[in-house]
Structure 1
Amino acid sequence: MQATLLRGVDLLWQSAVTGFYFTKSDLKTTLVPITCFAIAAAPMTELSRLPHIMFWIWIHLLQFDVSNQTLEPEEDMVNKGDRPIPSGRMTFRDALILRWLLIPTCFIYSAMYSIETFYASVSLVAFTVIYNEMAAHAGHFIVRNVVNAAGFASFEAGATLVAGSDPHILDGIAVLSICCSAGIFATTIQAQDFKDEHGDRMIGRQTIPIVLPSIARYTVIVPLLLWSGGLSMTWHLNPLISTAFLSLALFVGTRFLKYKSVPADQVSFYWYNVWLSIAHSLPGYYRMYRQV
């Protein structure tokens, strides 16, 4: 009996570790910013909602990442060897089975909150299929950015519904927040492509750094500054906070312009996600400001 229990605990632990390695590279780019977004946009009324938000985001992120990592596992063999398939933690066949089992899992889990959350899950899964299995990720950067933005909007809608006191309703601030965020992703998500340029060339992706190398880095700093100014006005930031937010955008954009090695681009992308998390938190500032 004790041996069976220990084997069960070990299996659960190994499954959790495997899930972590599937999603590891996207925890800072998706889990953290969208959690910040949901807390601010809903707003979150009780701290007990936080695990619900994070798990809803994570299980859908796992669905996306398993789909993505079963498309071209040979690419991960070269530069992402700690992922479950190249590391041997999971076979390609088992990963494919997991990929399709996760879809009904996400649907059922979302339906436990509300029909609206279920719709957000369906939308997110649909954009996952378009992006991965239908190869939008390998298409022109405009298509790639738009599908990315739509997928993130679905993420945010579902997470915000889970965070709020009523999982059936998104109020006007939440809807405006999602629209702003979709615009940010559509115009700045190329920040993630600089560090992956070598691998993207190998598989024929048409990202901005590849298609428009002479102006690619300016497509980060200009939108960041414009969005920082626009969000400052939209969410009524006071002059001090607005200046700090604009300064951060200038710092991030300048890093992309000045430092062009792969390690430097990885650090710059980290700072982009710091800016993004703050941008996603601004609706919460507005709610507090409006109540004062």
Structure 2
Amino acid sequence: MSALDFGSKSLFTLYLFTHNDILTTIIPTTLFALVSAPLYSPYRCVHVVWWIWLHLLHFNVANQVIDPAEDGRNKASRPIPAGYISLRDAVYLRWSLVPICLVSSAFYSIQVLSASLAITLLTLWYNEFKAHSHWFSKNLMTGLGYACFQAGATLIAGRDMSRLEPNALLAVLLSIAMFATTLQAQDFKDQEGDRSIGRRTLPIAHPSPARVSMFVGLPMWSICLTQVWRMDAYCSVTFVLYSGLVGLRFMVCKTTQADRLSCQLYSVSHTLICLTSA
């Protein structure tokens, strides 16, 4: 294999680790940061996307080396079960990304480094210490982790990378609560694989309440945010209506295929919520 082929394959493998989260993490977090900061210069946008992607890569590799057998059943296209990278090499990559993320963050500010360190510790807790095995700790850790992504990205985007503006800080706190209480949207489609390894996500532990929580939670958060940020009537109605329809879909459409589409629609709703929060 030539150096060019090896480089292309390596880049494609890194892309595969994160491509499923472009819609759910990279786009909404980037938009959140650009609106919350606001953006100091267009050049900073590149830094924001790079920082988010690098830390997402770190988290995803750490997550996917824990149980490749589960991915083989649930998500066979991921790099390890698909054969793009060996488990041993993925483990090496997982731990090499820790100093890379921390050093990269330190070049921005101590505060960005703190966000990176928090992501590192939460990643360790979520994966190696199995916070992902129970719905409560899974939702809480993911909500906190997502807030760290938002905080770090917003710091990088802004004029002063050492502090968050009050509105940005409030938006991050609201995002923790919103994401921690609606994260189960991503778990409905994975119930078969989660059940096979004994993972107690909310849709498995409490199937009916989990769906009710989406039906109630999405429009509730939409109404809350429209009031907090004083949106105009047209935007408020549109926002609440869309979120309500997504929540209703979780209630009435219960096949695995339907849950996949509902999750995608939730991702759009989540992006709108991130923009509204900012």
Both proteins in one fold, TM over 0.5 = yes
Give the superposition deviation at 1:23. 1.1
Q: Which residue of 2 is the match for residue 87 of structure 1?
A: 82
Q: How do residues 217-236 of structure 1 correspond to structure 2 at under 5 angstroms?
A: 217-236=211-230
2:8 alignment partner, one of 9, 13, 20:
13
CA distance in 1, matches of 2:270, 2:230: 18
Query: What SS does the corresponding residue of 2:210 show, helix, strand or coil?
Result: coil
* Alpha-carbon distance in 2 for matches of 1:179, 1:136: 21
Q: Secondary structure at the match of 1:217?
A: helix
What is the letter of the counterpart of residue 177 of structure 1?
A
Aligned partner (choices 135, 139, 159) of residue 165 of structure 1: 159
Does structure 2 conserve the Cα–Cα contact (< 8 Å) formed by 1:36 and 1:280? yes
- After the TM superposition, list the runs of 4 or more consecutive aligned residues in structure 1 that deviate by more than 6 angstroms: none
Distance between the aligned counterparts of 1:81 and 1:42, measured in 2?
A: 38
1:119-268 pair list within 5 angstroms: 119-139=114-134, 141-268=135-262
d(CA) in 2 for partners of 1:198, 1:158: 34
Confirm or deny: 8 A CA contact 1:40 1:282 kept in the other structure.
no
Aligned residues: 278
The 2-side partners of 1:9 and 1:115 are apart by: 37
The match for 1:58 among 41, 50, 53 is 53
AA of the residue aligned to 2:67:
E
**Is the CA contact (8 Å cut-off) linking 1:110 and 1:118 kept in structure 2?**
yes
Equivalent residue runs for 1:41-120 within 5 Å: 41-120=36-115
Paired amino acid for 1:22: F
**d(CA) in 2 for partners of 1:214 and 1:238?**
34
What is the one-letter code of the residue matched to 1:96?
Answer: V
Conserved 8 A contact 1:40-1:280: no
Cα deviation for residue 283 of structure 1 reads 4.4
With 70-79 and 59-68 compared, the bigger mean Cα shift is at 70-79
Q: Secondary structure at the match of 2:188?
A: coil
- Whether the 8 Å contact between 2:225 and 2:277 is mirrored in structure 1 is no
Instruction: Please give the root-mean-square deviation of Cα atoms over the aligned residues, in Å.
Output: 1.3
**Contact 2:174-2:277 within 8 A present in 1 as well:** no
Q: What TM-score results when the alignment is normalised by the length of structure 1?
A: 0.92
Unaligned stretches of 5+ residues in structure 2: none
Deviations 1:163-205, CA, capped at 9 Å, x for gaps? 1122111010110010010011111001101000111100111
Cα distance in 2 for partners of 1:96, 1:113 equals: 27
How far the C-alpha of 1:44 sits from its partner, in A, is 1.3
Given the alignment of the two structures, is residue 39 of structure 1 paired with residue 23 of structure 2, yes or no?
no
* 1:36 shift after superposition: 1.4
CA distance in 2, matches of 1:151, 1:80: 22
Q: What whole-Å deviation, never above 9, does each CA across 1:117-164 have from its counterpart, x for those lacking one?
A: 00000001100000001000012x112111111111111111111111
Match of 1:3 in 2: none
- TM-score, scaled to structure 2: 0.97
- Partners of 1:40 and 1:283 within 8 A in 2: no
Describe the SS at the equivalent of 1:176.
Answer: helix
Q: Which amino acid aligns with 1:206?
A: R
Q: Quote the Cα distance in structure 2 between the aligned partners of 1:17 and 1:11.
A: 10
